[in-house]
Amino acid sequence: MPTHKLRVIPLGGLGEIGKNMMALEYGNDIVVIDAGLMFPSEEMLGVDLLIPDISYLLARQKDLRGIVITHGHEDHIGALPYILSRIAPPIYATKFTRELILVELKQRGVKTGAKLNLVRPGSRITLGKFTIEFFSVCHSIPDSVGLIIHTPLGIVVHSGDFKIDYTPVISEATNFSQLASLGAKGVLLLLSDSTYAELPGYTPSEMVVSDTLDRIISEAKGRVIVTTFASLVSREQQVFDVAVKHGRRVFIVGRSMKEIVSMALKTGYLTAPPGIICRLDELKTLPHNRVIVLSTGSQGEPTSALVRMANRDPSSRVQIIPGDTVVISATPIPGNEALVSKTTDSLFRQGANVIYDKLAQVHVHGHGSQEELKLLLNLVKPKFFVPVHGEYRHLSLHASLARSMGIPKDNIFVLDNGDILELGQDSGKVVARTHVGVIYVSGLITGELDNAVLRDRKLLSRDGVVVVTIAVDAENATLAEKPRIITRGLIDTGGERKLIEKGRDVVLAALDHDKRRLSEPSFVDARVKDSLTRFFHEQIHRRPVIITVVVEVGKTQREPTS
Q: Please answer whether residues 401 and 373 qualify as being in contact, where contact means their C-beta atoms are separated by less than 8 angstroms.
A: yes
Stretch (H or E) spanning 423:
strand 419-423
Q: CB atoms < 10 A from the CB of 80, how many?
A: 28
Determine whether 398 is an active site residue. no
φ and ψ at residue 361, rounded to 5 degrees: -80, 75
The residue among 27, 22, 100, 24 whose CA lies nearest residue 54 is 22
Distance CA 361, CA 359 (A): 7
- DSSP letter at 49? E
Written as one letter, the residue type at 495 is G
The residue among 400, 434, 430, 431 whose CA lies nearest residue 417 is 434
Written as one letter, the residue type at 55 is S
- DSSP letter at 515? G
- DSSP letter at 5? P
The residue among 115, 99, 105 whose CA lies nearest residue 67 is 115
User: From the candidates 71, 76, 158, 367, which is the catalytic residue?
Assistant: 367
Written as one letter, the residue type at 232 is L
User: From the candidates 34, 161, 165, 193, which is the catalytic residue?
Assistant: 193
The residue among 549, 382, 343, 416 whose CA lies nearest residue 22 is 416
Q: CB atoms < 10 A from the CB of 442, how many?
A: 16
Sheet with 154-158, side-by-side order of all strands? 124-127, 130-136, 145-151, 154-158, 187-193, 382-388
Q: For the chain, what is the total number of helices (H) and then of strands (E)? A: 15, 27
Residue 398 CA to its chain's centroid (Å) = 22
Stretch (H or E) spanning 326:
strand 325-328
Whole-number Cα distances in Å, 42 to 48, 78, 141, 335, 338 = 11, 20, 27, 7, 9
End-to-end Cα, the chain, rounded Å: 61
3 state DSSP class of 211: helix
- CA 169-268-289 angle, to 5 degrees, is 65
What is the 3-state composition of the chain as percent helix, strand, coil, each rounded to the nearest 5? 35, 25, 40
The residue among 32, 34, 26 whose CA lies nearest residue 6 is 26
Determine whether 34 is an active site residue. no
φ and ψ at residue 415, rounded to 5 degrees: -100, 160
3 state DSSP class of 60: coil
Distance CA 549, CA 315 (A): 41
Distance CA 442, CA 424 (A): 41
Strands 465-473 and 484-488: antiparallel
- CA 365-368-373 angle, to 5 degrees, is 170
φ and ψ at residue 502, rounded to 5 degrees: -65, -40
3 state DSSP class of 386: strand
The residues that are catalytic are 193, 367
